[in-house]
Chains A and B, each alone.
Chain A
C-alpha cells in the first residue's frame, strides 16, 4: 500500500518536470529565434543604409563634376558630361533590383537590393528616392548651372 502511494508521487513529479522542461525549451526557442530575427533585421537595416549612403555620395561627386546637362525621362536620368570625358553620355536608371549607370552598353552598379527608384525635379533640384524593403531614403542634388 505504502509502496504504491510513493510510486504515484514519483510519477507525478516526473511529469511535472517534463512539462516544465518542455515549457522552458519552448521559451528558449522563442527567445533564440527572436534574437536571430532581430539580428538579421539590424544587419539588413545597416546594409541598406550603407548602400544608400554610398550611392548618394557617388552620385553627388558625379553630378557636381564635369556635367553639362541633365534630362529626366520618367525614372531615368540622362546625364551629359563635358566633351573631353570619355563616355560622356550616361544613363542613370533602375535595372531589376539595382541602380545602375549605363555607358552605351557598359553597366556600372551603384546600389544593390533597391526595390524602387523615384526621381523628380523641383525647380533646379533633383530628388532621388531609393526604396528598400525596410527603409526609404531621399536625397536632393543641385542640377542647375
Chain B
C-alpha cells in the first residue's frame, strides 16, 4: 500500500478535508455577497448621476430662458424643487455664480466638478 492510501486512512483526515471545503464555501459566500453589495451601490450611483445631470441641465435652461433669475452673486440649486437657495449639501450641489458678463452653472458631484454651463448675456 502506498503512502497516499495510508494518509487517507489516517484518523481525522476526512474531517480536515471537509472543514477545508466548508471554508472555501464560506469564502465564496463572502465574495459573492460583497460583490452584490458593491453592484447595488454602483447602481444607485449611476441613477443619481443621470438625475444630477438632468437637473443641472434644467437649471441651465431655466436661467437661459429667464424663467428663473439669480438674486445676489451666488446661489445653489435646490434638488427638491426648482428654485435657488443659499444653503447647499457638501456631497453634491449646483453652484450658480454671477460673473460680470455671464452666469456660470457648475455641478459638483462627490467633491469634483462634473458639469459646467455658461449663460452669456
Contact = CB atoms under 8 A, between A and B. Distances in A.
A27 to B, nearest CB: 7
Given A31-B32, A42-B39, A142-B64, A49 B50 contact: yes
A140 B62 contact: yes
A109 interface: no
A47 to B, nearest CB: 12
Contact of A125 (B32, B36, B50, B62): B62
Contacts, number: 64
B50 A53 contact: yes
Contacts of B64: 142
B54 interface: yes
B51 interface: yes
A141 B62 CA distance: 9
B82 A122 contact: yes
Contacts of A137: 50-51, 54
20 contacts: A31-B32, A34-B36, A35-B36, A38-B36, A38-B39, A38-B40, A45-B47, A56-B54, A122-B62, A123-B62, A123-B68, A124-B66, A125-B61, A125-B62, A137-B50, A138-B51, A140-B54, A140-B57, A140-B62, A142-B65
Interface of B: 25, 29, 32-33, 36, 39-40, 43, 46-47, 50-51, 54-55, 57-58, 61-62, 64-68, 82
